[in-house]
Amino acid sequence: MTPIYSPYVQIHQLEALIAIVEAGSFTLAAERLGVSQSALSHAIATLERELGVTVLERGRQGARPTGVGERLLPHVHEVLARLERIRAEAAGTAHLVTGRVRLGSIPSATVDFLPRVLAAFGRQYPQVELVLLEEPSQGTGRLLEWLTSHTIDVALLELPVTDFETVPLLHDELCAVVPATSPLAGQPDVRVRELASEVFVLSRYSSEHLIEEAYRREGLTPNIRYEVQDLGTLVSLVREGLGVSLVPRLALPRAPEGVALLPISPRPTRQLGFVVRSLADASPAVQALIQKARALSG
- Residue 204: what pLDDT? 77
DSSP for residue 55: -
CATH class of 74-169+271-297: alpha beta
CATH homologous superfamily of 171-269 equals Periplasmic binding protein-like II (3.40.190.10)
Distance CA 216, CA 227 (A): 20
Beta bridge partners of 63: 58
DSSP for residue 203: E
- Residue 32: what pLDDT? 80
- Residue 295: what pLDDT? 93
Can 74-169+271-297 and 171-269 be said to share one CATH topology?
Answer: yes
- Residue 1: what pLDDT? 45
Pick the CATH number of 11-65 from 1.10.3720.10, 1.10.10.10, 3.40.50.2000, 3.65.10.10: 1.10.10.10
- Residue 109: what pLDDT? 92
Mean pLDDT, contiguous 10-residue spans, the chain (298 residues): 56 87 87 84 88 88 88 86 73 64 92 94 92 81 89 93 94 96 94 94 86 92 92 95 95 94 93 94 91 90
| pTM higher than the cut 0.75 | no
Do 234 and 177 form a contact (C-beta atoms < 8 A)?
Answer: yes
For the stretch 83-111, what's the b/e string if a residue is b when 16 or more beta carbons lie within 10 angstroms of its beta carbon? ebbeebeebbeeeebbbbbbbbbbbbbbb
Domain boundaries of the chain, sorted by first residue: 11-65, 74-169+271-297, 171-269
